[in-house]
Structures are given as structure tokens and as C-alpha cells.
Structure 1
Amino acid sequence: MKLFHTTRALVWAAPALAGLVWSGTVWALNINAIILKELKQNGTHLKLNFSGMLGDDGVRQLARSRLLKKVETLDLNSHGFGNAGAQGLADSKYLPNLQTLNLFNNRIGPEGAAALASSNKYPHLSHLNLWGNQIGPSGAEALANSDTLKALEYLDLSGNGIGDPGLIALARSPVLERIRILRLDKNGVGDRGLAALASSPYLGNLEVLSLSHNEIGQEGAKVLAESPYIRKLRQLRLERNRIGDVGVKHLAESEAFQNLEELDLQWNGITETGAHDLAGSPVLTRLNRLYLWGNEIGNAGVRAIKKSDNLKNVGNDVYPSLN
């Protein structure tokens, strides 16, 4: 473990110093002291946000601690660990009750994703957050090929560069069968990947789909609107794509979205024409949140939406009106 040399780093690391012990000539983590300090809810919840950055070595030590045996929620966001730390978690004998694993903003690559995907040490895992790692297409494929992640209900792979190849692999996987919430923001996903997802027969339980900050165009919107597998969808987030008015028309006319309650179409090149299609939609009557900032719908588009009987349940400001 590295010593902290600057005053600023020492201040940042101060919470972790209580978990350091002197071992011969170096400082080492007293991981059990850190765990005992942060364990909550009768030992079932462990969130290590105030223990410094564990890194690979720290996470591997953590994974070998018997104190994890009752843990159901393990939050290791922003700890700077990569494949070795992920392998340590995958090999742990002390996570039989784990249900939620938050690994947001680390350095896990394809090998780490493969290790997590192949482990049988946490059979009850239902929530997996890998937002902001580096698993790439092959890491997504490893997750898709998993025989042990069949209980997943929540999967966040945002910011991992999985691209169309990674999404195509996921779309073919029964791992998605129980997924209710799927977040795939900032992944370079385009129409080809979305076409594969829309054709997946494993989306029957999907309620939330987030695809913001990708490269989805009107064809992607079309295939999604034609999908027979997403009838339970309640939230759809397509912020910062490029579906345009044509894409909006496909969404507004699709019976696949008759249960939709929240729709985010910010920054998609939508004009007044698209706003009128939304206002006239006979299938979006359950919407209570609609987001259109960053488009060019103008005052006329805003008025059409505000006056729409079909969208009367929308309760937020959908657009910065000029009036």
C-alpha cells in the first residue's frame, strides 16, 4: 500500500488511517477494523465510502474476511481496483448472501467481468452495478455467457464501451430474463445493437431501459417501437441520441409503450413536428414525466403538449417555454 506524501492526500486519506497497522517495515490494511467500522443494518450492509481507496490488494483482503458472511449489500464504488480485485470478489467464500454488488467507477476490464460472471459464490445476486468500468464488448459477452447470474434483476453497464457487439451478445442471453432495470448509457450503442436488443425474447420483465448518450437514430427508435417483448416498460431514457422527428413518430404510434410513465428525449434533434406527434399519441396516455429540453420544439410545440388530452398526466416542465 502506498504512503500518502502530500497534505491534500493525507487529508483525503485520513478516514482510512484508523484501518492501518504497522507490519514490520510497511503499513498494511487492518481490513477487519475497516469492515467493523462500516458494517450497518445488523451486518448486512457494507458501504466503504469513507475508508480511503482500497485498490486491488485491499479488495482482495476484504474478500477473504469472514465478516462478510451476512452481507447482502456490498458497495465498493470508486476504489480504484481492477481485474485482480474483481477476481478476489469472485473467489470469496464469504458472500453467500450477497444480493447487491455496486462496483461503480473502478478499473475492471474484460478479465474482471469474466471472473465475476463465472463465479458461483453469490447465487442470490440480483443487483449488479458496473457503471464506469472498462469491460468492453468482450466483458459484456462474458456476462452474457454466465451460467450463474440468472437471478439478476438490475444491471448497469453504463460507461463501459460495450458498443453494438457487446449489446448483441447480451440480447441473446437468458441472463436478461429476470432483468427489470437495464442501464446502458454512454456505450457507443447504435441502431444495430438496439435492433438486436429489441428482438430479444428475454425482455418480458423489463420495466426501465436507459440508453442515454449513445448513437441511436430513427431506425433504432423504429425497431424498438416494433418490439413485441417490452410491453412492461415504464421508463425509457434516450437522452442525447439522434432519433429526430421520424424516430419520435415511431415511438408515439407504438403500442409497446402503452404502459410508459416516463420518457426522456432530451437533445435528440426533435422539432415542432415531433412535439405534435407526441401530443397526438393515443398510446402515451400514462406518461407523467416527459423531458424534451435541448430540442427545437418551440412555443408551438410546448403549447401542443400542454393542451394535449393524451398527455394530461404529465406533471413536469417538459421544455423551457419562451412565454
Structure 2
Amino acid sequence: MRFSRALVCAAGLLLLRDQANAASFDCAKAETAVEKAICADPSLSAADEKLAAVYRQTLAAAPADIRPELVQNQRNWLVYVHRYCKPVKGAPPGGVSSCLGDKYKERLGSLPQSLRTVGTATVYQVQRFDVATEAGTDGADDTGTMEFTMDQVAGTRPQDKQVNAYIRILAKFPTIETQAAKPGRLAEPSEEIVNTYRLIAYTDHVAEIQVDTWDYGHGAAHGMSDNANRFFLAQEGKELTADRVFAAAKPWRAFLAKRCYDGLVEQGIIGPDNKVFTGTAADLEPMVAQPTHWEFDSDGLSVAFATYEVAPYSAGEPAVTIPWNDLRPYLIKDTPILELARVPPQTPP
């Protein structure tokens, strides 16, 4: 079995011990634990070859000017996996193979998303990864990870450039890039962090970016996730605010709060057993009035709440959807949200 000639060659990464063999890894010369694990496990070998095929397809479909970024992504991932899955003190037997299997499965699921279409735009991902390890107090190594993914639009229109710049600022990409240049600076040994900035809807006038963060501190009962949506007016170069959606003269805050309160009660989220939120509908107004809680689609407006915001951890991130017909009396006439959600514009009553 060869170590994915396409992956190693196309990514330009010398993961192997001998540079002369980097483009054609001979398992007879495997020396590192990662190399030996891949050579010894038929399922890992098959996953490696499958990933190489998916990578080739993705690269072939990409516009020429963004291929270098996709190559860089794969190079970053290969280095990350090689560092993360190497043997560490205190790891159980078979840990390298198990680690590689998990990471290959994750990558096979995520790689097709690195190039996709959103609206009429071609969107690609920028990815950075890091691993940090330190000796634990129990004698075993403590290894933490950081996985960062940020969408960009493959376009040259002014609004495309505006959206790309906004996402980079939102993701603090200059800082991420500086830290990623030095292994071990982006990650923390005691944490596993995943940050994703995903463009989920895009028109000529407005972009919707979903910001997902997940953080697990080693030793904690569970990880913590936080999801928020940002809306960017591409041609105006600024974030969308509530006054570009709802009419100031209408009691839209109270309307949203009441509908969300009733919806959460109906779902069993708010009730006598909920010790996290014990307030009234009026207490929800500051939350539901924030665009970061909103997501628009053809069904209407979904108002989502973060973990622990209105319910215990077991409830996840509850959401309430309000149909367009109920929203229209509160909308301004020219709100760009209707275009984003692909809802026919109508004059609100």
C-alpha cells in the first residue's frame, strides 16, 4: 500500500521520514508509528485512498485561483493529523490506529464542504489546525486541539470582497494566521476547540454567516457550544440591524417575545421544572431582539437560544419558528431579509 500519492504530492507535504520517498511511500520503509499504523490496517489504507480521490475531485472542480488555498488546507490537515495521532504517554494500545480512523472519518465528511455553491456564488473554506501537548500531572500527556474553518467567496465583485473582509474580521483571521504559523500557539493543551464561520445564505445584497464555536475543557462534564448568526449588507458594507427588518413603530419586540415564550412552553422548555429561566415573556425581549438569535428561511423566522440561555444543558439550543404570514405585519417594506429567505416581496399590511 502506498501513502496516498495524490495527497502527499498535491499537498506538497513531506510527512515521511525520507524526502526522496515522500511522493511514493513504500510501506517496507515505514518507520513512524503513524506510517506503520496506516500500512498495517486495511481499513486505514482504504480510507486514505478514498480521501485522496475526494481531494482530487475537489481540487479539479475548484477555480484555478483558489486551488492554492485548498492545497494549503490539506497540507495543514495532514500535518495536524500526523502530530495529533502520534503516540503519547498514557495512551491505550491501538491508540494511533483509532485516532487515525476517527480523523479520516471526520475529514471524509468535511472535505466535500470545502468547495460548494451558496446561492449563485462559489464558496471555499480556509482552514487552520493546531495541536498542543504538555505533560499531565498523572504522568500521561495532555493534548489539546484547535480546528478553525472560515468560508470565503470566490468572486471579484465589490460585494464579494466586502463579505470576505467582514468574515475575516469576524473570525479574527489575522490573529489566527499569525498564531497558526508557530505550532502549539493556536491550541491549548487542556482544551479541544472548534471554530467555524460558515456562509449559509448569500444574495447580491445580504449575506448570512453562521458562527459555531465548541469548546471542551479536559475534565469537564461536557463540551460547550455557542451558535450565532450574523447578517451583512454586502453592498453597504455594514451589519444588518433590526431596523432593517422590523418597523420601529410596530411592537415587534413584544410580539417576538410572546411567540417565543409560548413556543418554549409548548415544547416543555419553560415550565415548573426549569430552574434556568423563571421569567416572563417580557424577560425574553432583550434576547429575541438580537439578530444573532435569528435565522430566516422559506418557513419564516427561527429564533434560537444558546445553551443555558433559557434552559438547562439537556435541552440543547431550543428554537421557535414564526411563519412569514405572522411576521409580515411587523416588517418594513424593503427589508432585504425577504430576498435572503427567497420569499416573494409583499407590502406588509
TM tier, smaller: under 0.3
* Structure (1 or 2) with the larger CA radius of gyration: 2
TM-score if structure 2 supplies the norm length?
0.25
Between 1 and 2, higher relative CO (CA 8 Å, sep ≥ 6) is seen in 2
TM-score w.r.t. length of structure 1:
0.27
